[in-house]
Structures are given as structure tokens and as C-alpha cells.
Structure 1
């Protein structure tokens, strides 16, 4: 059950006042901080900050740690740290036929995982599967306070909850998923496009922590791109920012399924790489293994893919000037096998006078998509 404050009332994170949420968020994102630093960042008086942090400490969300001598003031200051274990959230990733789930603490650190096939792709059946998984986890984690769902598709945020406009993998159109899950599970539910969710989660809890301008590019079955500019995710006028899959990277390249010649999808997706290898019965992992074993054809395919990725990264960097580019996804082996070509293309296409871009390649596990669902649930509670 939720911790209680000194009046005995349950502490509901989503219902906290904006200033209280802001103080909690500073510690959540930046780690333990002294009261004076939190007050400075939020432009609050010492008295106001004392009242706010008392709510969070009494509610069990922050704890008072050791006292340190702060160089800027020369005075001892008591550090405040997040009690991440005080609450848990459930993150879900939906594919066309499966459900991946993770329970995380408030710092988006996974503490339990599960996966199961979907009984069907009908929205009612998917919601029933989510409810079953939630019930199983809540037996062990009764303090789960929210659900977050990541899926491939377009999601709109409406007054009555998040709404899946379209998801090709699930063959969905106009599904009020947020309201359906909230009704079935009895918890607030956030829903977001999977790449947007992963971008937001990496920004708060991963490689982008403390970075105001970043890009995330995912490589795998599809190619995704998420952007954070001036500390805020970029969504676009129609929630379609980051659609880079059909950016032309080689005008002499192969055709994609939509008839575009030499676009990112025709050269960089796992399906394009398998198709270029042209060996019956070999999947993406098989082509990766062949390239690692020195197969000349496989290595040439990954070299082309690396060049395509380099062109794409350069286009993103030249457009938005991020401090960091995070590369991730289940096809991330392209950086290992085509990394030299990727870097050569970057050198060729980036302005020589520009600041160096920090490229952070993340190891990949499919549960990261579910963790992204948890991340947006946390962000939703604190937004």
C-alpha cells in the first residue's frame, strides 16, 4: 500500500501539487541533492522548500541522507535522495502477437519481467491479457501505482485518455486503449508510440540523463527516431515527428516495399539485410553470425547498412544539433559490423567546424521496450 504522511492520508504521486512534483522530479532525474540546491533550481524560498520536502519525506518518497559540506556555500547541507523502491510501475510492450512486461521502481530500474503470447489481437483480448499480467504482478508488488504501454503506431493524447489512432502490427484503428486498461486494471494508464516512449525514458533515466538536446535512433524491424530539444520531446504538429524510415540515403540502392529507391528501410532494417543476403531459411541472427565469421557477402551487406546509418545520423545531427545521439534496437549489430563505414560517412557529411557529436551505442534487450512503457508511466504521474 502507499506510504502515509504524518496526517495518515495516502500519498498519491499524481495528485501532488506541481511544486511538490517538481522537487521530486529534480531528485529523481539528478540524484541526491541538498535542499538549498533544489530551492535554487526551482526558485523557491527556503521555507517553501522545507514544507515541500517534508511532504515528500513524510510520504516516504524521499529520505534524508548524510550531511555534506557544500563548496559553494561553505555550509553543511543535508542530502535528499529518492526512495525509488517506495512505489512500482508496470511497463508493457505490445507486438503483433506478444506482450512483454516489466515492473520497475520509480527510477525505471527493472525488478521483475514476464512475457506471454497474446490470445488474439482484438483490443478486448489484449486488455484482458494486460489485466491478467497486472494481477499477477500486483500479488508481489501491491504498490504498483500506474501502467505504461509502448507500441508501434500513432497515439493521440485526449481528455479521456490516450487513444491509439493506428497500429499496423496489431491492425488497430481508433482504439481507446488508455481508458480500456484503466477500467480493467483500476490504475492510471499511459500509452505512447514505442520509439517516443524509449526516447523519453532514455532522456530521464538512461543515456540522456542531464542532456537537454538528444536524438535516439532505433534500428531493427523498423527504423525509428526520437528527438529531445531544449529538454522537451519533439512530437510535431500531427504527432509524426521522427518518421525517417524512407529518407533516401543511396539513390542507386535497392527498392523498399513502397517503391522508394535507396531509402533507409531498403538498406538498414533487419528484413532488408536478410533479403539482401538471399539465403533461404536464414534470419537476421544468421546473417549477423555469418558476418562475424567473415562471410564476404554478409560483411558487404552490413557495410552498406553502416553507410546508410551514417547518412541518417548525419542528417539528424545537421538538422537539430543534438549533444548526444543514442543508438539502440534489436538490429544494433549493424554498428559492430558496419561501424567503420558509419563513421566514415559521418566524417564526410558533418560540418568540420561543428562540435563533436557524442554517439552512445546501447546494448539491447527486448524488455527495454517494456521499460520504456514504465518510463512514460512515471513521466505521466509527474507531468
Structure 2
């Protein structure tokens, strides 16, 4: 198939044709590739692909270099590489009291990060903080291209940008955050639920790179679940796919704050583990330390949490049949401290004929949420 393509106007990613975006994505997601392989994957003629990649090289987004012997032809082929430093993106994670910021390159690799306390939760004040961070980074990174924001809560997409329908931690309702940040910074702005943003970023730039079906589960202050099926993130009819916090995992378990007996939130979230430890004044980190020191009550609390996580993983894996299940979050110590209980519950709940679950446990740093915002910004320009 031949495709007419004009040169990349001014080198702006947002102005690329669909075929140019597709060619850039192949290299971005899969690493260095020869032109012939990209042409084969995109069903383009060599002539069309040559015109497209020439424009991408001229724009500084791809570079040429090195050769590889191709099995199909037996001939050496020049490789195309992503020039990741050609563009930079600002990722933001908002909590109830802190703004986390990360600058990444085009491959979503972090090059700088910072965090600031939020003096106010008022939308105008938070937007002003974001704009101030963006101005500071724009001075150091003149190729800063767009902003992505990851936020806990419900987010919908409208014609004028993203709307934060509800954010419990910020006490926001119907805040047009996308438009507000775009107007304040002069940069395109993408906003998404933090778990969805993290799932999308892991799919392109992390554990899920190159696979079509994956599940991401986050554990910590809350429980989140993101799904990628047939190469696409799953949003659901009402942007609420992956709501598994109140999945019943133990009918004899404690009640959660909403009154559900034995749901995942009653056993697995950090506060539930603290409650189960029953030691006044001890926070989550203290329970982790106690469990590592062999405290039986702390280990029992984590064992219950591990079983809950195993049931959740088995349930989602049975529904989706993913190639990989990624587990991460600020409560990831549960895998370390209750791995046996997790795997026993997983084995017990899976169908005997089910494919083994490829479990990928990721270490956690809170800046990963902000990096997910940057990954979201990259996807918004290229997807």
C-alpha cells in the first residue's frame, strides 16, 4: 500500500500524519528497526516508508546508524533508532497534599524530578503550581512538548479537554483540569486516572512493551486495576473498568469502610493492614518493619493481605487471560512478606487448565506516578 505523506511541519509531533505516527511508534515501542521491517509491519511500500522515515530523521525524531543482517533477505540493513532527547514531556502526579513532577524524554525515561507541597487544594492554586513547575522546566528543556497529569479519581474526556469528575483526595468535583493547565502553560495537556495512566505507560514503555494483553494491579493506600486487551487500554462504557477494590475475597473477613464483609479493601490496603496489627500509634511502615523482624501478628496481617491479592489476581486473570500481570504500588511489600500466601491463593482459585500467570512484581517509587503522567502525554500525541 502506498501512502502520500508530506514532510513533518516544523518538526511538530502533533502535526504528523497517521502513517508517520505509526512508523515512529514502531521504533519507540520495539526499539531499533530496519526500514524493511517497519514497512512490513505497517503494510507500506518501501518507497512510502523511505519518504516517511526521511521526514522523521529530518525532524530529529529518528536517527540512522548501524546495520543488521536480515534473516529474510540475508542482506545487511541500516537500522533506525529513536532520538529520545528530541522531545521532553512533563509528568505530574497530584495527591491531596503534594505535587510530584518528572521530566522525561520521548522514551518516557525520567531525566529530572521534583516534588512540592500543595499549600492549597483550590483548583486555581494547584494549576498555578503546575504552571510554575512547567515554566521552570521549559527554561532548561526548550523541547518541552506537553504535560500529562495522573490523578486519583474519575476523569472523562471532552471536546475541550479532560474533566476531573471526582477526586476524593483533592475534594474536587467537575474541574476542567485539562483546559485550565493548557491555558496556564501554553502546552497541550492530557489528564487521566492515575492507574489508567500507569497502565498505559507500562504498556508502551515498561513491563508490557511489545505485548497485547496485560493486567496491572496497584496496591497501597487504595487498590487499582488497569487492563490492556488486544493492544488497547480498556476504559469501559462509563470509564470505570477495573473496579476491583470491593471484590469479595473472604466471606468471613472484616468489613471495609463501606460495610462490605471480606472485600479486597478490608484486607489488602495499607490501612487495613494497620488495623489488623492492632498496635496503637503504629503506621504502615511500622507494620512492615515488624513483619520483617518476625512479629507474628504483623506477618498474619500480611498473610491475609497476600491471600486477598492472590484471589484478585486469579479472578482478573481468569476473565482476561493476560500475557502478563504487573503488580506494583506503595504497598508492594505484601509480595515480599506474604508471597507464599499469595501464590497459594492464586493456585487454588485458578482453573486447573488455566495458563500459568506470568507475574511481574515491580519495585516502587512514588515518582512512577508522575512518570505515568509523562507517558500519558506521549501517548496522547502519538496514539
DSSP 3-state at the match of 1:254: coil
DSSP 3-state at the match of 1:96: coil
CA distance in 1, matches of 2:129, 2:16: 31
CA distance in 1, matches of 2:67, 2:308: 52
Per the TM alignment, residue 10 of structure 1 is displaced from its structure 2 partner at its CA by 2.1
DSSP 3-state at the match of 1:10: helix
Per the TM alignment, residue 349 of structure 1 is displaced from its structure 2 partner at its CA by 1.0
DSSP 3-state at the match of 1:376: helix
Q: Could you list the per-position Cα deviations for residues 252-298 of structure 1 after superposition, in whole angstroms to 9, with x for gaps in the alignment?
A: 00000000000000000001111111112211110000000000000
The residue aligned with 1:63 is 63
Per the TM alignment, residue 119 of structure 1 is displaced from its structure 2 partner at its CA by 2.0
Per the TM alignment, residue 142 of structure 1 is displaced from its structure 2 partner at its CA by 1.3
The residue aligned with 1:111 is 111
CA distance in 1, matches of 2:348, 2:278: 31
The residue aligned with 1:189 is 189
Q: Could you list the per-position Cα deviations for residues 303-339 of structure 1 after superposition, in whole angstroms to 9, with x for gaps in the alignment?
A: 0100000000000011111010000000000000111
CA distance in 2, matches of 1:69, 1:261: 60
Per the TM alignment, residue 9 of structure 1 is displaced from its structure 2 partner at its CA by 5.5
Per the TM alignment, residue 7 of structure 1 is displaced from its structure 2 partner at its CA by 8.4
CA distance in 1, matches of 2:321, 2:9: 47
The answer to whether the aligner puts 1:46 opposite 2:50 as a matched pair is no
Is the CA contact 2:218–2:224 (under 8 Å) kept in the aligned structure 1?
Answer: yes
The answer to whether the aligner puts 1:95 opposite 2:95 as a matched pair is yes
The answer to whether the aligner puts 1:278 opposite 2:278 as a matched pair is yes
Q: Pairwise mapping of residues 110-259 of structure 1 onto structure 2 (< 5 A)?
A: 110-259=110-259
The residue aligned with 1:299 is 299
The residue aligned with 1:330 is 330
Per the TM alignment, residue 132 of structure 1 is displaced from its structure 2 partner at its CA by 0.7
Q: Pairwise mapping of residues 1-16 of structure 1 onto structure 2 (< 5 A)?
A: 10-16=10-16
Gap regions ≥5 residues in structure 1: 1-5
DSSP 3-state at the match of 1:271: helix
DSSP 3-state at the match of 2:312: helix
Is the CA contact 1:161–1:178 (under 8 Å) kept in the aligned structure 2?
Answer: yes
CA distance in 1, matches of 2:8, 2:231: 36
CA distance in 2, matches of 1:52, 1:329: 40
Is the CA contact 2:94–2:150 (under 8 Å) kept in the aligned structure 1?
Answer: yes
CA distance in 1, matches of 2:200, 2:192: 10
The residue aligned with 2:367 is 367
Q: Could you list the per-position Cα deviations for residues 105-152 of structure 1 after superposition, in whole angstroms to 9, with x for gaps in the alignment?
A: 000000000000112111000000000111111111111000000000
Per the TM alignment, residue 351 of structure 1 is displaced from its structure 2 partner at its CA by 1.5
Is the CA contact 1:119–1:129 (under 8 Å) kept in the aligned structure 2?
Answer: no
Residues paired across the two proteins, number: 378
Instruction: Tell me how large the CA RMSD over aligned residues is.
Output: 1.1
Per the TM alignment, residue 211 of structure 1 is displaced from its structure 2 partner at its CA by 1.1
CA distance in 2, matches of 1:201, 1:324: 15
The residue aligned with 2:3 is none
Gap regions ≥5 residues in structure 2: 1-5
CA distance in 1, matches of 2:277, 2:357: 32
Is the CA contact 1:70–1:76 (under 8 Å) kept in the aligned structure 2?
Answer: yes
Is the CA contact 1:87–1:105 (under 8 Å) kept in the aligned structure 2?
Answer: yes
Per the TM alignment, residue 97 of structure 1 is displaced from its structure 2 partner at its CA by 1.0
Is the CA contact 1:211–1:323 (under 8 Å) kept in the aligned structure 2?
Answer: yes
Per the TM alignment, residue 8 of structure 1 is displaced from its structure 2 partner at its CA by 10
